[in-house]
Structure 1
Amino acid sequence: MTLLGMNIGVLGGGIGGLTAALALAQRGAQVTVLEQAEQLREVGAGIQISPNGFCVLRALGLDKAIRACAVKGEAVELRDYKAARLVTRLDLGLLDEDQEYFLLHRADLIDVLAKACRESGVAIRLLQEAETVVLGPKPRVEMVNGDHFTADLIIGADGLHSVARKALNGTSAPFFTRQTAWRAVVPNTLSHPNVTRLYMGPKRHLVSYPLRGGEFVNIVAVQERMDWVDEGWSHKDDPDNLRAAFADFGGEVPALLAQVTDVNLWGLFRHPVAQKWFGEGVAILGDAAHPTLPFMAQGAVMAIEDAWVLADCLATSEVTSVGLAMYQSKRQERCTKIVAQASGSARKYHISFPPIRWAAHTGLGMFGAMSPKKMLGQFDWIYRFDVTSNVDGSIKS
């Protein structure tokens, strides 16, 4: 099926929505992005783009622009919290030459995607807050301000509280994981190397990595706690609360946290993976379809993969409904597996009982030292998966 002249509306101007808009426009569709904010922006800070996501951005012609604003990751280090002792290191240099791992600011990725979208003829309409989505042969988006938008296809890339997901699946209640996370960006005064560092402590962990050519450091700190914090990244908190929660962490952590002047706090909630990813004239992707906890650094990358596969399935199917069914079939199992893996990762980072933590960390260290390639190879099913090699996606051989 040709997408030439097909009118497609994309709800949400985030990473998933803009990637989908670009992939569809490059295949000939007439695409309009409907974004509720007054400008395209990301409230979050850092993002890690693993090789399975970068292969899509490269196929879309964005590799040079990404390299210009990102830091190429050299390793992922797991460290014990007290003295920041290195437990094990995943050497990203062991990846194939064309498998690259990047660390960048979300806002920079949004800027790259938005520029490419506009150059490809995508219309981006701001202040378009959707209230409901109506399925049908000519699906319709009803806006909060009373306006409406009609297209041949509506794609919901509208995040955790997706109105498109609600139209397809009804309402589902998330549950609080008893974990909260702080996010901050500080100047890189400590010469943080081009690695992701994950400090593992009792019921807590902290991640740091450089951004914007090493000028800044991104910090994400997760703590298990009973009190309820609403979803979203817009909740401001007192930096002293962050410092108090991680006061017993050693190494560079105290110096990093001492620089925090502005910090966001959000509660981590679990949502079920959607049962229905499409209906008549409507499809969903990214967090709208499969929200995930941030412990595998795959949330945005899954949305990027979704966008490519959705565009390819539509372009290679004679009928839209067949393309949409193919899209869900090709994506649901993989995304469900990654969501489950992310949900279990925090337990491995947060071991409280010292003898068990010592044994676990010793085992990790021995495995990493004796078999560094096998250590990294645990993630082949994620990193070596290339949706651009064919519409099915495949493990790169």
Structure 2
Amino acid sequence: MVRVAVVGAGVGGLTAAIALQADGFEVDVYDQAGELSEIGAGVSLGGNGMRVLDALGLGKAVRDVSANLQRIEFRHGKSGDVFYQHPMGAWYEQRFGGPFLGIHRADFHQLLISAYAGEPHLGRRCVAVHESPEQVELQFADGSTAHADLVVGADGVRSAVRGHVDGADEAVFSGMSCFRGLTPVDRVPGGDRFGLTFFLGPNRHVVAYPVRGGELINFVAYVPDPDWTEESWSARCAPREAVAAFDGWSPVVTALLGNAEETGRWALYDREPLRNWSTGRVTLLGDAAHPMLPHAGQGTNQAIEDVAVLTAYARNRNVTLKDALRGYEQLRKPRTRQIQLGSRANAACFQVPDGPLADERNARLENLPQMVGWIHEYDVYAAMATGSEA
């Protein structure tokens, strides 16, 4: 039996472990955290990601703990007035082959832990990878080691496994930080009618949507801030700091930010697209392979797409493992690169000053379903059948 070590017990790593186990691989998951506890934040899942979760038998469980978003709307940040909206819900599912859901990250994480047949090895921070033609040795900060036939690096934007695959590189700071939190729906005026909601204004914007069946509203509030460089999911701040950053904005925004149960803040980084994702026995997945800014809402969905392709190629016993990993990255790199770079561009689009630039952007939104269709309608299984990212 092929032994697989997955480094990272986040959404991408656990989904990969579940998929590989289902195909008969012996899988161990390692994570640097002393305990697995997800922060209070939401994740959006589109039709492209849900197609894979359905194929893995996880779709119903995901739907049961999510909110099905019924509309997308864009609002002026200060007035709160809607200037563009479009139905989602049934329209989205018919158009793109699956629902668009908002899910609490902790709910998603717990669901995946329950589906993984085993217990992740915690307190194992990977510090080195030693690869030979026969196997891979992982070295951890506590002095322990582990061995595997295949290593999957799903350890995020500051991946230790990434350095082994493609050499050292630096994370790229976007010059922007974000406030994140969850607010009870009854503390947000009109919160019970939220779908995927954007509040746009000069130099900053807010994205919000319901999770946990509509009980909570997840928000991410983006601000330019070259001085806040802490990239930590555990960094906390007072809700009043977020409110102050959006002084003068709609009362809906300030209620959303000011009534959060807990507010996190961290700097936003990505990296330049990689030349290589794999060696003979080591490969990357999700943010370790293609860390992207959140402005396309695709980070989680792309990691899930990665899982489908990696598992399919790894199960092919007619090729060497090295060739299987090469095929995996060749199929995935063009698409993830395009989304990675597009996510960078979206931030500027969302934060243009009022006036002609904003008017031009707002007019372009009339074509939004067509502009994002190539992302959401994507069928990773059809792509594998044709061997093309087209």
Normalized against structure 2, the TM-score is what?
Answer: 0.93
The answer as to whether partners of 1:387 and 1:393 remain within 8 angstroms in 2 is: no
User: Does 1:105 pair with 2:115?
Assistant: no
- Quote how far apart the aligned CAs of 1:192 are: 2.8
Distance 1:13 1:270 in 2: 20
Cross-structure match for 1:66: 62
Q: How does 1:211-230 map to 2 (within 5 A)?
A: 211-230=211-230
User: Does 1:116 pair with 2:115?
Assistant: yes
User: Secondary structure of the equivalent of 1:391?
Assistant: helix
The answer as to whether partners of 1:386 and 1:393 remain within 8 angstroms in 2 is: no
Cross-structure match for 2:278: 278
The answer as to whether partners of 1:184 and 1:220 remain within 8 angstroms in 2 is: yes
- Quote how far apart the aligned CAs of 1:260 are: 2.6
Q: How many residues are matched?
A: 382
Please point out which of 37, 44, 50 is paired with 1:48: 44
RMSD of the alignment, in Å?
A: 2.0
Cross-structure match for 2:369: 376
Cross-structure match for 1:326: 327
- 5+ long unaligned stretches in structure 1: 369-373
Cross-structure match for 2:359: 358
Cross-structure match for 1:193: 193
Normalized against structure 1, the TM-score is what?
Answer: 0.91
User: Secondary structure of the equivalent of 2:193?
Assistant: coil
Distance 1:47 1:228 in 2: 23
Distance 2:181 2:289 in 1: 27
The answer as to whether partners of 1:6 and 1:152 remain within 8 angstroms in 2 is: yes
The answer as to whether partners of 2:331 and 2:388 remain within 8 angstroms in 1 is: no
- Quote how far apart the aligned CAs of 1:174 are: 2.0
Please point out which of 180, 184, 187 is paired with 2:181: 184
Against the structure 1 CA distance between its residues 251 and 299, is the aligned structure 2 distance closer, same or farther, given a 3 Å change threshold? same
Please point out which of 106, 121, 128 is paired with 2:124: 128
1:75-132 Cα deviation digits (max 9, x unpaired) = 22111112111121232232343421110011111111111112xxx45222222111
Distance 1:140 1:392 in 2: 34
Q: How does 1:77-116 map to 2 (within 5 A)?
A: 77-92=73-88, 93-97=90-94, 98-116=97-115
User: Does 1:76 pair with 2:72?
Assistant: yes
Sequence identity percentage: 30
Distance 2:352 2:81 in 1: 16
Against the structure 1 CA distance between its residues 220 and 260, is the aligned structure 2 distance closer, same or farther, given a 3 Å change threshold? same
Against the structure 1 CA distance between its residues 282 and 396, is the aligned structure 2 distance closer, same or farther, given a 3 Å change threshold? closer
Distance 1:393 1:197 in 2: 36
- Quote how far apart the aligned CAs of 1:390 are: 5.4
Cross-structure match for 2:205: 205
Against the structure 1 CA distance between its residues 314 and 339, is the aligned structure 2 distance closer, same or farther, given a 3 Å change threshold? same
Against the structure 1 CA distance between its residues 96 and 396, is the aligned structure 2 distance closer, same or farther, given a 3 Å change threshold? farther
Q: How does 1:290-305 map to 2 (within 5 A)?
A: 290-305=290-305
User: Does 1:242 pair with 2:239?
Assistant: no
Q: Which amino acid aligns with 2:381?
A: T
Q: Which amino acid aligns with 1:278?
A: S
User: Secondary structure of the equivalent of 2:173?
Assistant: strand
The answer as to whether partners of 1:330 and 1:392 remain within 8 angstroms in 2 is: no
User: Does 1:171 pair with 2:168?
Assistant: yes
User: Secondary structure of the equivalent of 1:358?
Assistant: helix
User: Does 1:385 pair with 2:385?
Assistant: no
- 5+ long unaligned stretches in structure 2: none
- Quote how far apart the aligned CAs of 1:377 are: 2.4
Cross-structure match for 2:157: 160
1:198-218 Cα deviation digits (max 9, x unpaired) = 100000001111111111111
The answer as to whether partners of 1:165 and 1:274 remain within 8 angstroms in 2 is: no
Against the structure 1 CA distance between its residues 148 and 395, is the aligned structure 2 distance closer, same or farther, given a 3 Å change threshold? closer
Distance 2:352 2:386 in 1: 35
Q: Which amino acid aligns with 2:103?
A: L
Cross-structure match for 1:344: 345
User: Does 1:143 pair with 2:136?
Assistant: no
Distance 1:31 1:194 in 2: 40
Distance 2:172 2:383 in 1: 36
The answer as to whether partners of 1:46 and 1:211 remain within 8 angstroms in 2 is: yes
